[in-house]
Amino acid sequence: MSFQHPLVLFALLIPAFLLAWVWRRRSRRAVLPFDHGDATSSGRGWRIALDIAESLPALVLAVVIVILAGPLQVGMPTAKRVLTNIEFCVDVSGSMIAQFGEGTRYDAAMAAIDEFLDFRDGDAFGLTFFGNEVLHWVPLTTDKSAIRLSPPFMKPGRLPRWFGGTSIGAALVACRKVLTDREEGDRMILLISDGQSFDLSGGRDLEIAKQLREDGIIVYGVHIGGGEVPGEIVNITTLTDGEAFQPGDPDALAHVFRRIDDMQGTRLERTVGESMDHYAPYCIAALSVLGAALLCLFGLRYTPW
């Protein structure tokens, strides 16, 4: 147990002194004549009862002092859900308008993201589009509607020419900056692309992977196009404890996102119990002693007459 104002407890010397005075004083001895009284009786039992009654106000004062000191108790440790900051990194180059199922690769990717949002209640999501340039469209937020309203505005084929290429390296570096600005929670990048990236060659992929790993960022790659997953993407996802996937149709794409959710499960951490006010037992004790003292005033009190 602890107290907000422990120095106040020194005031307990006052009720302690009052109690010592009540029980050790030698006054109040008056011999009174009673008809048919027992001359051999010392009245010791009545004296003890009276001393107990007169000790009650001092006890009330002691409890009040303890309350004024602000008693605290430590609450039970709880399990707190760790927030995951998830940055969607979506390719909007011209090749993303290729047919994929009943729609385009871009349509399938955004539909899968929309479904993935329902898997991750309580997490923060950001959305970054990239071509040869990078555009942070939605900052990290728990407001899922901000991402769900985004698809119509960034459809490939309707964008300026500087979104025509596929600069995955620049996009990952930009997403890393977004995630490292958030000190709280786990960090994850979900990369969706369909092409090769010239800016990951010459060992650049390993350099970026090292930076992401040092910052605790896990990268999952979804290669939505044909052919094998680029080796550079495999290197980055592997070195950051993620994984690369190659879905062949929209159903497989949805399965990939569910698999990623299973792999990156919700993490709970044990939190230390917080200090909380602990007034209740002392208030009950003070009221009980005060009630007993009031009842004693009806008759159990010393009178020298």
DSSP 185-240: SEEEEEEEE-S--GGGTTTHHHHHHHHHHHTTEEEEEEE-SSSPPPHHHHHHHHHT
Alpha carbons 264 and 223: distance in angstroms, whole number: 19
pLDDT value for 148: 92
Q: Residue 259 pLDDT more than 80? A: yes
12 and 128 part of one domain: no
16 and 133 part of one domain: no
Report the percent of the chain where pLDDT is more than 90: 41
pLDDT value for 59: 92
Q: Residue 39 pLDDT more than 60? A: no
169 and 244 part of one domain: yes
pLDDT value for 160: 83
Confidence label for 14 from pLDDT (cuts 50, 70 and 90): very high
Query: Which range among 52-61, 100-109, 269-278, 280-289 shows the weakest confidence by mean pLDDT?
Result: 269-278
What Å distances lie between residue 118 and 111, 115, 188, 283, CA to CA? 12, 6, 17, 48
Alpha carbons 93 and 193: distance in angstroms, whole number: 9
Alpha carbons 264 and 206: distance in angstroms, whole number: 22
Range of the domain at 202: 80-269
How do strand 84-91 and strand 78-81 relate by DSSP bridges? unpaired
User: Could you give the angle at the alpha carbon of 189 between the alpha carbons of 108 and 180, nearest 5°?
Assistant: 145
pLDDT value for 303: 59
149 and 171 part of one domain: yes
- 99: CATH: 3.40.50.410
Residue with the two structure tokens 């104002």: 5
pLDDT value for 266: 55
In Å, the largest CA–CA distance within the chain is 120
156 and 69 part of one domain: no
> 81 has which bridge partners?
268
pLDDT value for 267: 54
Q: Residue 40 pLDDT more than 70? A: no
Query: Containing H/E element for 115?
Result: helix 105-119
Residue with the two structure tokens 């690369």: 244
Contact yes or no for 208/172 (Cβ under 8 A): yes
Domain count for the chain, please give it.
2
pLDDT value for 81: 54
Confidence label for 92 from pLDDT (cuts 50, 70 and 90): very high
Q: Average pLDDT, stretch 163-187? A: 90
Confidence label for 256 from pLDDT (cuts 50, 70 and 90): confident
Q: Let me know if residue 304 belongs to a domain.
A: no
Contact yes or no for 92/131 (Cβ under 8 A): yes
Q: Let me know if residue 291 belongs to a domain.
A: yes
183 versus 59: the higher-pLDDT residue is: 59
Q: Residue 159 pLDDT more than 80? A: yes
Contact yes or no for 107/100 (Cβ under 8 A): yes
Contact yes or no for 141/124 (Cβ under 8 A): yes
113 and 234 part of one domain: yes
Q: Average pLDDT, stretch 297-303? A: 71
Residue 71 identity: P
Q: Residue 78 pLDDT more than 60? A: no
200 versus 28: the higher-pLDDT residue is: 200
Tally of CB atoms within 10 A around 239:
16
Q: Residue 293 pLDDT more than 80? A: yes
85 and 56 part of one domain: no
- What is the average pLDDT score of the chain? 84
Q: What's the pTM?
A: 0.62
pLDDT value for 213: 94
Q: Let me know if residue 24 belongs to a domain.
A: yes
Query: In b/e form, how buried is each residue of 241-257, taking b as 16+ CB within 10 angstroms?
Result: ebbbbbbeebeebbebb
